[in-house]
């Protein structure tokens, strides 16, 4: 885990007592915004249900998906096809102003967020992963996933894991070619949160030679009760909830019902600051039903990935551990990375799923 070692102390810092260190303010970063046109091709599953147009439909979907025997009674997919799309991805590349970093982290956010998950404007000295990584001498490329914020719009019935993996793979190739840096970086490390960790992990599974290491946060490999988080979200059709902001989105895009559903699924009392919850809720992004459907059927086994892997989730993560990661994170994660030269599995005490926004 040599390449990742300098990053670990940050994860080990007890968040409640973490004090803003001088390093945050004395490590200036130089950032540049990018809009990157890509042509992607991937095998995709085809939505097999009527479109959702009302919140009664969204509730019916939740009912269907959450049955214990949904794997035999619910068939939201009707087929498979190869899709080719032209998309634009919006991202930021930040490097230490003091000089070129030899390692670039490529950060993929989860559902309900956009790329600012990694660099929130509320108390950045406490919550900005980007500032921390810069202070440690890394560069970070963090981007809005397809369908979110500044990146291209797409139907919520279409966007799914395979398309996101195809995008990530091209972003890695661009990074490796020196697109963002004066010269090609020596190492490229993937960093994910939640759905972004699933996408990053799926890339390790399908294209293991492309990256040098991975940090997968807010993930798990054994969800004792898969229905809990979807039920806890109580999803609503995003375009109906916030017509001003999301009217253009089709019914495949949903959002959780309110701020308490956000707390229920992303935080854990008393390990959060209410102001941070309000900040996250005010900036929440919709997510797609096909992302959730395909997440559940993506094979994350990465038998050929030999680089170091850090798997890290909050102790009380609801979404990936049904509220208690400690006993289940490591034993279930291990078999997924049999060839990793250094697998570290770490449970962050006093945190829910939204691990980088926790802390009181
Ligand atoms: C369902 O939604 C898709 C994607 O937005 C759209 O192309 C299609 O026309 C819709 N189907 C119906 C029957 O409204
Ligand atoms: C719920 O499942 C039934 C079949 O069991 C299906 O006919 C219906 O379209 C589904 N509705 C939604 C919104 O998922
Ligand atoms: C559905 O899940 C149950 C319990 O995990 C399993 O026994 C069954 O074989 C699964 N059915 C299908 C069609 O995958
Ligand atoms: C998708 O492309 C792959 C590889 O080119 C091919 O083997 C497969 O048959 C195609 N699938 C469909 C449904 O067209
Ligand atoms: C968020 O990430 C930054 C950088 O890793 C770290 O300094 C900070 O402690 C994290 N915040 C929380 C609350 O995890
Ligand atoms: C892993 O490596 C084995 C042996 O070289 C190969 O047969 C297999 O296709 C590889 N799997 C993946 C997902 O790359």
Q: Residue 342: which domain range?
A: 2-46+77-221+290-357
- Give the confidence band of 330 by pLDDT, cuts at 50, 70, 90: very high
28 within domain boundaries: yes
Mean pLDDT of 141-153: 97
Half-sphere exposure of 99 (CA within 13 A, CB side): 3
Mean pLDDT of 21-36: 76
CB of 297 within 6 A of ligand 3: the answer is no
Tens digit of pLDDT for each residue in 249-276? 999 999 999 999 999 999 999 999 999 9
237 within domain boundaries: no
- What pLDDT sits at residue 21? 35
Which residue's CA lies nearest to atom 8 of ligand 4? Answer: 82
- What pLDDT sits at residue 101? 82
Contact at 8 Å (CB) between 313 and 327? no
H helix or E strand, kind and range, residue 351: none
Tens digit of pLDDT for each residue in 156-173? 999 999 999 999 999 999
91 within domain boundaries: yes
- What pLDDT sits at residue 26? 52
Torsion of CA 245, 284, 46, 56, to 10 degrees: -70
Cα(72) to centroid(ligand 3), Å: 7
Tens digit of pLDDT for each residue in 222-240? 999 989 999 999 999 999 9
268 within domain boundaries: no
Q: What are phi and psi of 96, to 5 degrees?
A: -65, 130
- Give the confidence band of 12 by pLDDT, cuts at 50, 70, 90: very low
- Ligand closest to 76 (CA) is 2
Compare 348 and 23 and report the one with higher pLDDT.
Answer: 348
Cα(52) to centroid(ligand 1), Å: 9
Contact at 8 Å (CB) between 311 and 213? no
147 within domain boundaries: yes
89 within domain boundaries: yes
Ligand 5 atom with minimal separation from the 13 CA: 9
Mean pLDDT of 295-324: 97
Ligand 5 atom with minimal separation from the 357 CA: 13
Check pLDDT > 90 for residue 348.
Answer: yes
Q: Give the three-state DSSP class for 45.
A: strand
Which residue's CA lies nearest to atom 6 of ligand 3? Answer: 71
The count of domains in the chain is 1
Which of 82, 83, 163, when mutated, tests ligand 4's pocket best, judged by the most ligand atoms within 8 Å of its CB? 82
CB of 77 within 6 A of ligand 2: the answer is no
* CATH number of the domain bearing residue 160: 3.40.50.1820
Share the mean pLDDT of the chain: 92
275 within domain boundaries: no
Please state the pTM of the whole predicted model.
0.92
Segment of 10-14, 83-87, 122-126 carrying the highest mean pLDDT: 83-87
Cα(239) to centroid(ligand 1), Å: 14
Mean pLDDT of 107-128: 96
Q: Which of 142, 129, 139, 132 is CA-nearest to residue 186?
A: 139
- What pLDDT sits at residue 7? 37
């Amino acid at each position: 885990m040599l390449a990742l070692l300098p990053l670990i102390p940050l994860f080990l810092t007890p968040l409640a007592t973490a004090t803003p260190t001088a390093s945050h303010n004395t490590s200036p970063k130089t950032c540049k915004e990018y809009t990157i046109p890509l042509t992607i091709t991937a095998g995709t599953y085809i939505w097999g249900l009527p479109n959702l147009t009302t919140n009664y439909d969204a509730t019916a979907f939740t009912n269907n998906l959450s049955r214990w025997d949904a794997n035999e009674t619910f068939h939201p997919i009707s087929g498979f096809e190869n899709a080719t799309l032209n998309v634009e991805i919006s991202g930021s590349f930040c490097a230490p102003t003091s000089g070129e970093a030899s390692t670039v982290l490529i950060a993929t956010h989860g559902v309900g967020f956009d790329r600012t998950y990694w660099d929130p404007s509320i108390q950045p000295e406490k919550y900005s992963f980007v500032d921390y990584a810069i202070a440690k001498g890394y560069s970070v490329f963090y981007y809005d996933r397809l369908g979110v914020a500044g990146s291209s719009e797409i139907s919520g019935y279409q966007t799914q894991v395979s398309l996101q993996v195809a995008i990530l793979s091209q972003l890695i190739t661009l990074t490796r070619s020196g697109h963002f840096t004066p010269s090609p970086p020596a190492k490229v490390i993937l960093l994910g949160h939640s759905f972004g960790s699933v996408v990053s992990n799926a890339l390790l599974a399908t294209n293991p030679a492309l990256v040098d290491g991975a940090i997968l946060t807010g993930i798990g490999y054994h969800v004792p009760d898969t229905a809990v988080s979807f039920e806890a979200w109580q999803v609503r059709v995003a375009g109906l909830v916030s017509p001003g902001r999301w009217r253009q989105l089709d019914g495949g895009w949903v959002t959780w019902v309110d701020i308490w559903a956000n707390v229920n699924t992303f935080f854990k009392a008393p390990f959060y600051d209410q102001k941070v919850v309000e900040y996250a809720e005010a900036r929440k992004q919709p997510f797609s039903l096909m992302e959730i459907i395909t997440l559940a059927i993506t094979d994350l086994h990465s038998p050929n990935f030999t680089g170091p892997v850090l798997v890290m989730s909050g102790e009380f993560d609801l979404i990936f551990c049904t509220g208690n990661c400690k006993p289940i994170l490591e034993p279930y994660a291990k078999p997924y990375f049999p060839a990793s030269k250094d697998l570290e599995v770490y449970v962050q005490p006093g945190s829910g799923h939204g691990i980088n926004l926790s802390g009181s």
